[in-house]
Structure 1
Amino acid sequence: MTIDIRPDDLTSAEMADLIAIHAQTMLASSPPESCHFLPIDSLRQPSVSVWSMWEDGALIGCGALKDLGNGEGEIKSMHTRAHLRGRGIGRLMLEHILGVARARGYTGLWLETGSMDAFIPARRLYESYGFSYCGPFGDYAEDPNSVFMCLQM
């Protein structure tokens, strides 16, 4: 598998469509008040780096890293097209994000994901890279539909 991961400026219709699909997927699995995905305009903030994943000219996934300050970051918008899941695409994006976080000298990474069964594959992926469960961070609050994870680097 030859996959190209590149910085994305979120201006293409393809990427806008993928971000919309990500939002729809989250809303289909979680109550709206428990969905913490960033809309495309929030992903365009200077504190957020976004990458797109391409294979044979097709957009197949994305991921983002939000700078939280104080040498810490939050993983956001990890998404692989549904028909391509199980191929290790999410793993490649996570490894890319971890590499960027290390290069930036981050000491910790955080994330929020769902507590429902639909999110088991995501939680297992993060666990396999050493993320552990923790309480809410930043502006998040305790929520039975959310799981919080962190990785000390």
Structure 2
Amino acid sequence: MTDWHIRVDDLTGEPTRALIALHLSGMHATSPPESTHALDVEALQHPDITFWSAWDDDRIAGIIALKRLDDERGELKSMRVADPFLGRGVGRMLLRHVIDEARAAGFTSLWLETGTPDDFLPAQRLYESEGFVRCAPFAPYVDDPFSAFFTRAL
């Protein structure tokens, strides 16, 4: 069994930056620009965002971020598993890690926006399997056929 390591990431390492670039490229390939809500490295360095990366020894396996919306709510951002690690539970591990971190930070709910094209169905199923339910758009989002919105009480 792999000994995964999840750490807060300062976004300066090349493996992290490369996975963010791959994530952004994939988002832009499947959604029009006005419907692409993925954040670049600079935006992910905002003080209201905590960013984690998962590692298998020296290989990056996945990334995820948590944005503070207010004192009670957080938003999941930039969740991506590196291609060699797809189907190995990295996404679920990262999601559960952030749920635990959000609880520890005193949040009472988590929110997220994800895409609606078929490429996003595995992510949607993962969120639903971890207790997220579909909801209406939340600020700053608007109703968009390329977006699906989810929330989960903590």
**Alignment TM class, shorter chain as reference:** over 0.9
What SS class does the counterpart of residue 25 from structure 1 fall into? Answer: helix
C-alpha displacement of 1:83: 2.7
* Separation in 2, partners of 1:130, 1:15: 28
* Separation in 1, partners of 2:55, 2:119: 25
Q: Which residue of structure 2 aligns with residue 83 of structure 1?
A: 84
Residue correspondences, number: 153
Equivalent AA in structure 2 for residue 76 of structure 1: K
Q: Gaps (5+ residues) in structure 2?
A: none
What SS class does the counterpart of residue 69 from structure 1 fall into? Answer: coil
* Separation in 2, partners of 1:102, 1:143: 29
Q: Which residue of structure 2 aligns with residue 117 of structure 1?
A: 118
Taking every aligned residue pair, what percent have the same amino acid on both sides? 47
What CA deviation, in whole Å up to 9, does each residue of 1:55-84 have, x standing for no partner?
Answer: 021111110000001310000010001232
* Separation in 1, partners of 2:6, 2:103: 17
C-alpha displacement of 1:109: 0.3
Equivalent AA in structure 2 for residue 105 of structure 1: G
**Does 2:122 match 1:104?**
no
Q: Which residue of structure 2 aligns with residue 29 of structure 1?
A: 30
Report the TM-score, using the length of structure 2 for normalisation: 0.96
* Separation in 1, partners of 2:9, 2:104: 19
* Separation in 1, partners of 2:105, 2:74: 10
Residues 1-153 of structure 1 aligned to structure 2 (within 5 Å): 1-153=2-154
Report the TM-score, using the length of structure 1 for normalisation: 0.97
* Separation in 2, partners of 1:48, 1:93: 15
Q: Which runs of 4+ in 1 moved over 6 A?
A: none
